[in-house]
Every structure is written in C-alpha cells, then in structure tokens.
Structure 1
Amino acid sequence: MIKVITTFCLLALFGLSNADIQANKLFELLKLKRSINSPIPNTWVMSKETTKEYSPVYSAQQDGLAEGDKIDALPGQPAGVNFNQYSGYVTVNQTAGRALFYYFVESPTDSSTKPLVLWLNGGPGCSSMIGAMSELGPFRINSDGKTLFMNDYAWSNVANMLFLESPAGVGFSYSNTTSDYDHSGDKNTAADAYTFLVNWLERFPQYKNRDFYITGESYAGHYVPQLAYTIVSYNKITNQTIINIKGIAIGNALIDDETSLEGMYDYWWSHAINSDATHKAILKYCNFSNDSSSELCDKSTDKAWDEWGDLDLYNIYAPICLNPQRNASTTTGSINVFDPCWQYILVDYLNSSPVQKALNVKPTSWGVCSDVITWNDWETTILPIIKYLISNDQRVWVYSGDIDGRVPVTSSRYAINTLNLPIETAWRPWYLNKEVGGYLEGYKGLLLITVRGAGHTVPSYQPQRALTLFSSFLGGMLPPSS
C-alpha cells in the first residue's frame, strides 16, 4: 500500500509549495509505482459480459434539495451575475456517511437546452474547485483573495457546468468513516462518482435526458474515461438509470504510464531543459515499458530533475510566484493574465467563513489537494478503456497545452500512437482571430488537439482558445482550418 500525499506543504517563509499541485501528485504516483517490488493490481475488467454483475447503486430521496443548495451570491462576486449557481453535498454511501461536494453553474442563456458537462480535476486527490475558480468557471479570484471578477470565456457560456470534488477526503467532500480514506483508488472513485450522478440527476431531474459529457485534466485522464466506462456499462442494464453520455474530453492527461514518462523526458530535452548527456543516459538506462526501476535509471532521472532549476513545469514559459503576499487592494484582475500565485489566492478565498457559508458546506480546512487519502489501485494504461468508449460511439478528444512540461503533448502523442487508429484528418493548424490556436489530427473515433501557448491547466493560460476548443467539442466539429 502506498500513501500518496496530495496536499500543499507548509514551508517556513512561503507557505504553499509549488511541488504540490495536481500534476506533481501524478508524477509522484508514477515514480512510487516503479519503485515498489509488487505492482498495484489492476481492478478493471474490460468485457461487455461483466455488465450483468453490476447491482443497483445507492439512491436517496432528493425532492426539494436543489432549492436548498441554491447560492444567493458568492462573497465578492461582481454585479450583473445573470445565471444560477448551486452547491452542496450528495450522499453516496449512507452507512459510511460518505458525501461528495459539487458546485453547479447553469448557463446564462438557454440553460434549458444546453448540455450538462461534468468537470474533474486530477491529482489523484486534487479539488475540482481548481477548475471552477482558476480555469474555466464563471469567475476568477482577484489578488486580494476576497473578491471575484468575471471570466468572459467561461465554459458555462456554452454548457451547464458541474464541478465535483472527488473522492471523499478531497476539498469539501468527506466521509464520517475515516477508514474510507485508506481505500481510495481508481475503482472506488469511479463507483462513487457514478452514484453521485445518479442521485444528482434525481435532485435536478430537468437534466436527466440532457446530452451529457465528461471533461477533466491531468489524473482525470483516469477519472474521466473510467467514469464514462461505468456509465456506458450501466446504461446496458435493464432498470438502471440511463445517463445520456455522448463523449469525453481530457486535457494534458495521464492515460498510459509508459508513454507518459518517456514523453516527459523527451519533451524536457527537446525544449532545452535537459542536457544531451542526461537525456542519453535516460535513453540508455531506463525502460519505461516495465513496472520496475534501476539504480542507474533513477540516477539519470534525478539528474534530469536537478537540471531544470526553479521553473514552473506546468507552463515552462510562465513566471513563478515570487511574492505570495497578496495585495490588499481590490484591483480587478485580467482574464488574459494568469496570476502565478493562484494557489495562495484560491486557498484564502475558499477558507473564508462567508464563502464556505455561501457554498453550503461544513466549516472545513480546505486544501487544493488532499493529505488524508491513500491511493490503493490504478491502471497502468487507460488505452483499453478509450478503445471501449470509441467502440461504443463515444466522442473522445485528447487535448494538450503545448508548453506543459509535466504531462506534455509528446506523452499524449506517444500514447495515442500505440492505438494504431486510422488517420481521418491529417495534421493541420486550427485558427482563432486569424492566429494559429493550435494543431490537430483526427483519428477514427478520436481527436488529438493542441492549444498553442497553454500550460497544464489549459483554460488558465489560454481561456479564449480553450473555449473555442470546448465549443467545437460539444458541437462535434473541428475548429476552423483558416
């Protein structure tokens, strides 16, 4: 059993460490996995025939609960908000007292006809309020940590957005049975997320038949396909809740262990972060196709880490947070300039008592990532699940910010290449405002698309390009070629 620490560390002078956000947790998991003698067992069975083994999930009475979850206003939100917001808990296991927190934003226009989209952040064990408040949600937080400004490129402009903190022990989500935190992993996370959706749709029955999509980033490269697989499997069973899932989109996502590490070190070398000698040593001594490591490989990869210095690997060209002390002023931020100290700002805002009261949560010491969960199972590759989804007519988009050094575009390309899918749309640029927004290549059942100038959290760094990509995904059409 491996304890995966997924929280911010408190440092003497600067508080939160840059080494503790979701992509670092992902890398720590991979490195730990390679260092243990016995592999963590895979728990997913990829067979249509296994669907008959599923039993009905926990379902509770939800009548009238939605109105109680409605948010009158978030503290510090700007004037002119013209959309509904809801948040609260959905119980997924009554016996254990396990409940997951959600934040839901309806689209300001035509919410009754627009699709429902679930967003999941990764880690494993990091909060989806990262996405809600610093990426694609309707607001961003000003540097004072107390007030908000509008995100003109919020994904809720084109969809009804549901953010879920998962599993229990992450963010505001909790269990009254603390031993639950020792049994976190891919399998239980997908099961609880499915139970959450079944109950949430009872709470908001107007969304039961709506087109439904799942999106996310980083370790959500596991969460999203696994939840989609669970939904597709359950949909085949008589008398189960039918969730009208249409597809998934995953960004800078871990989908295959071998290609993830290989692609990361290749990216570092090709972007002048590592020396030729170090990269040659990694190629010589490391075999990423097995689940073990060696002393010479570890020495080479440790050298690679030493060489990149004080750099934000989530965006290799972005400034780092040099002054975590926030401005007391309420100067409105810019959606086109991402604050490198976002972590501190987010923690300040979500730990405010008025904010927690507005979000309908218990008083909680909220953290960007969890320090209580133990990750017990994960898949070495998600590629078989992706193939299953493709074979069941699900739309699958894999998108990648091209200046992320943590789960870089090379990792995504290497992983997709192993599927050997026929190419239907040749590699080409896509455009926004007469500029190249990124590049794409269409395969049979899958699209690989990049976002130029975006880091690991794509909507944070390129909000307009991210919204264009997301809108195209929902419409099932490619972004403009000229």
Structure 2
Amino acid sequence: MFLSLIFFSLVCHNAAAAPNQKTLDRISELPGQPPVSFSQYSGYVTVNKQQGRALFYWLTEAVSQPENKPLVLWLNGGPGCSSIAYGASEEIGPFLVNKTGSSLYLNKHSWNIDANLLFLESPAGVGFSYTNTSSNLKDSGDKRTAQDAFIFLIRWITRFPEYKYRDFYISGESYAGHYIPQLAKKIHDYNTAHPKPPYINLKGFIVGNAVTDNYYDGIGTVTYWWSHSMISDGTYQSIMTHCNFKSGNNSESCDEALTYAMNHEFGDIDQYSIYTPACIAISKNTTRSLRLKNTLLHRRISGYDPCTESYAEKYYNRADVQRAMHANITKIPYSWTACSDVLIKNWKDSQFSMLPTYKELIAAGLRIWVFSGDTDSVVPVTATRLSLNNLNLTVKTPWYPWYTGNQVAGWTETYKGLTFATVRGAGHEVPLFKPKQSSVLFRTFLTGKELPKSR
C-alpha cells in the first residue's frame, strides 16, 4: 500500500503538465549536428522539490520505428561522471564530438539503431543535473542515487506516456555496476507490489567493467596488474600482504604499497586502456590523478578518461548548445565537467557487494549480462570473473570464443540466470574501443540469444 501511495503521488505530481513539457523538451537541432531522421528530447525532471534536486536527461529515439523498439537507460559511474560526456558523446550515442568541440558527427555504431536511448546525468551535481541544497553535493551515496533515479523514471514516463509498459532495459559501465542493480531492485520491488502489466516494464540489464564486490574486485585488480607486468613481484606480494580487501578501511602500509605501484611502477600509461597511448594533457590533470588514486584505495571508480573527454567539455559548455538542449536553466555556478570532483571526494554510502542483489534479481528472472573489456586495469576482467564466480551459478553453455566478421571478438560463458562476455582488446569504455563488437553484443542481448559461435 505504501508503494502504491508513492506511485500515485508521483504520477499526479506531473500528469497535468506532462504533455506540454514534452513539447518544450523537444530538440529541434543541436549546433553543428548532421541531419537525422530521429527525434530528440532533453530537459529536467525534478526528483525532490523540497531540496531542489533535478536530474537532466537526453532522449535520442531509435533511427527507425521507435514505437516498436525498447527503451534503454544508460548510466555512467564515477560516482560523479556524466552519461552525456561518456555514454552519449563517445560510446553509444548517435553523435560523437569532433576535436575542436565545434560540431558533431554520426556514430555509425550507435545503439539507437536498435533501441530508444535515454541518457541520465545522475546523481544531482553531475553535469547539468543540479540541487539547490548545497549539502547534497557532500552527502550523496548509493541509496539516494537509486531512489532519485527511480523517481526520475516514474515522472519521466508520465511526460512520455508512449513508453508506459514498453520493454525497458538498463545499461552502463563502471560504478554503474552499483547504480544499475540497485535501480533494477527498486523497480522490481515496485513491480512486485503492483498488478500487471508493470508501469516500468523492466526486462533486464547489461553492464560493462562493473564495480561489483570490494573484496573480489580488489584481489582481481591487483592480480591483473601483476599478470600484465604492471607491477613487480615484490610490490604484488606487499599489496597482498598488507591490504585487507574485506575491510572498508585500508592500513597505512596498504596505502603506501598501492601508492608506490601507481606512482613508481605503472609509468605514464592510461590505466583504463593499458595498450593504447595515454592522453598527455589529461594524464597531467589533477582530477584524473585523484580518480586514479581513488581507484583501489576507496573503490570509487570513474569512467575511461581519454582526450575525447575534453572535446565534450568544450562542446557542452557552449551557450548555444545549452540553449538547444534546454540545459543549465538555473545558471549553475560552475562549468559543465565530465566528472564532479566534489561528488568523487564525498561519496557517503557504497554497498560493499552487489552479489546479494544479483542473486535476488537472477531469481526474479531478469535478463542479466555482464561484459568486460580485457585491457582495462581499473575494473579489470579478472576482478569481474572472481566476483561472478562467487555467485556459484550453473553453467549452461561453457566458455567459447564469439565472433564478429571473421575475427574473435571475445569470449563468453552462459550461466543459468546470467551471461558473461569479454570484448577482446577493449578498454574500460568498451563501445569507444570496439564499437562494432559492442553493437553486436548489445543487439544479441536484446534478442535474448547467445553470442555468435562462428565466423
């Protein structure tokens, strides 16, 4: 009954204004955008009126027959990084930003070929999403992020009623390994308490290089560093001896061993993609250094950080772009950035392990896929495999190579309740490095079939 009252209140809050607001949210054209046939919308949805929290979204409908395609919500992690900076503008969105930040060009492997894409900047304080309560920027955490995202979806769908009951999936990467299962649980709990058909028709989720379990992620990450010759035998032994990954607090000797590895043994590499050249401008940036230091010390994982991040920052700070997107309407007193330092440094609650939530959602019958780019050293494939192995799932289809064209795209194994896949040669942001392979992965996920076994 309590959930029903919340739902009724949320729907009524926006019902009267919804049709008009949808019209106002329509994007006629973005500056420097090539011609397209699909519709776009962007704007704000208030998730807490009392504290003045509003989340910014960008919907890019499917290229063809959007009414027959599912709705997919994309979330980036951080915590504190923008889904518009990463997911929309350099991974799966229909447009990519050129080097000068002056124009956009088409992404021929965009996921909106197969689905309607909804990008959300979450939580408040990320990108254009804002709060009028300054303390919110210093007390954000997993629980409020999930609650606000759930309220966003309920209110957004009242604005776009054509997506009621539509097949709905959640996707994303990195610390969204927390956001996505937590939001999925919120939706599942709500649907369980309500008669069919479900208002938010959640079918499943797909998440890449996902932060999953602090203990197994920690061991798996250090193992990846050592097995890929990023650290010495001595440093590996020192970390494994002094670091207790079951504890939320690291000892001084553990911090020293981790810091030594990062500062003296890694070298100037891109930890999010260890075999590609690093972006020199960003590698010297203090924000990047902060996020890398937090990587294992506190398990606060941000998105891949190539030079393309700076292209997005140039573009979305333009006044004409903000006007076209109905963004920054309250004149936020800071520049739009790909990630928020304040949120990264002040994250309050973080679920130690997502494995219990996975078990619950697997039992609920959701379609769940987890994938890993295998050249990422921040949330590496070894960490994900260790975490998933401890779900103790029954193998349905044993490990095999999957293909795109005539080449091995990665390896995969299907379990009862979950599919795991690697993407060969991809870094932290899999669609950025392997766009064709990632689009095949996504399309196959939507069909519910297994990845191709042959050339």
**Scaled by the length of structure 2, what TM-score is found?**
0.88
Aligned counterpart in structure 2 of residue 357 of structure 1, from 323, 340, 346: 323
How many residue pairs align between the two structures?
418
Instruction: Output aligned runs, 1:137-156, within 5 Å.
Output: 137-156=93-112
* Distance in 1 separating the partners of 2:424 and 2:185: 30
Pick the structure with more helix per residue: 2
1:347 aligns with: 313
* Distance in 1 separating the partners of 2:4 and 2:223: 42
1:249 aligns with: 206
Classify 1:294/1:344 alpha carbon distance in 2 versus 1 (closer, same or farther; 3 Å).
Answer: same
1:433 aligns with: 405
Three-state SS of the structure 2 residue aligned to 1:91 is strand
- Structure 1 residues 378-431: Cα deviation after superposition (integer angstroms, max 9, x where no partner): 100011111110000101111100100100000000000111111111011000
Classify 1:246/1:108 alpha carbon distance in 2 versus 1 (closer, same or farther; 3 Å).
Answer: same
Moved more, 142-151 or 170-179: 170-179
Three-state SS of the structure 1 residue aligned to 2:67 is coil
* Distance in 2 separating the partners of 1:383 and 1:278: 29
1:128 aligns with: 83
**By how many angstroms is 1:262 displaced?**
1.0
**By how many angstroms is 1:234 displaced?**
0.6
Classify 1:54/1:407 alpha carbon distance in 2 versus 1 (closer, same or farther; 3 Å).
Answer: farther
* Distance in 2 separating the partners of 1:119 and 1:414: 25
**By how many angstroms is 1:261 displaced?**
1.4
* Distance in 1 separating the partners of 2:67 and 2:237: 56
2:277 aligns with: 319
**By how many angstroms is 1:343 displaced?**
1.5
2:120 aligns with: 164
1:303 aligns with: 260
Instruction: Output aligned runs, 1:40-439, within 5 Å.
Output: 56-57=6-7, 58=10, 59-61=13-15, 62-78=18-34, 80-129=35-84, 130-238=86-194, 242-305=199-262, 306-322=264-280, 340-361=306-327, 362=329, 363-364=331-332, 365-373=335-343, 374-439=346-411
* Distance in 2 separating the partners of 1:261 and 1:417: 15
**By how many angstroms is 1:296 displaced?**
3.0
**By how many angstroms is 1:52 displaced?**
6.0
Q: Is the 8 A contact 2:146 2:182 kept in 1?
A: yes
* Distance in 2 separating the partners of 1:293 and 1:402: 27
**Is 1:459 paired with 2:431?**
yes
Classify 1:293/1:179 alpha carbon distance in 2 versus 1 (closer, same or farther; 3 Å).
Answer: closer
Three-state SS of the structure 2 residue aligned to 1:302 is helix
**Scaled by the length of structure 1, what TM-score is found?**
0.84
* Distance in 1 separating the partners of 2:109 and 2:320: 26
Q: Is the 8 A contact 2:3 2:193 kept in 1?
A: no
* Distance in 2 separating the partners of 1:229 and 1:442: 22
Moved more, 286-295 or 461-470: 286-295
* Distance in 1 separating the partners of 2:70 and 2:95: 20
- Structure 1 residues 119-160: Cα deviation after superposition (integer angstroms, max 9, x where no partner): 000000111112100111001111111111100000001000
Q: Which amino acid aligns with 1:106?
A: E
Classify 1:371/1:284 alpha carbon distance in 2 versus 1 (closer, same or farther; 3 Å).
Answer: closer
Moved more, 311-320 or 339-348: 339-348
Q: Is the 8 A contact 2:4 2:194 kept in 1?
A: no
Q: Is the 8 A contact 2:111 2:442 kept in 1?
A: yes
* Distance in 2 separating the partners of 1:254 and 1:311: 21
Three-state SS of the structure 1 residue aligned to 2:41 is strand
Q: Which amino acid aligns with 1:378?
A: S
Moved more, 273-282 or 420-429: 273-282
**By how many angstroms is 1:176 displaced?**
1.9
Moved more, 371-380 or 192-201: 371-380
Q: Is the 8 A contact 1:220 1:254 kept in 2?
A: yes
**By how many angstroms is 1:289 displaced?**
2.3
Moved more, 301-310 or 204-213: 301-310
Q: Is the 8 A contact 1:438 1:449 kept in 2?
A: yes
- Structure 1 residues 278-312: Cα deviation after superposition (integer angstroms, max 9, x where no partner): 11222233221233323332332222212001110
* Distance in 2 separating the partners of 1:111 and 1:195: 24
Q: Which amino acid aligns with 1:368?
A: A
* Distance in 2 separating the partners of 1:312 and 1:318: 7
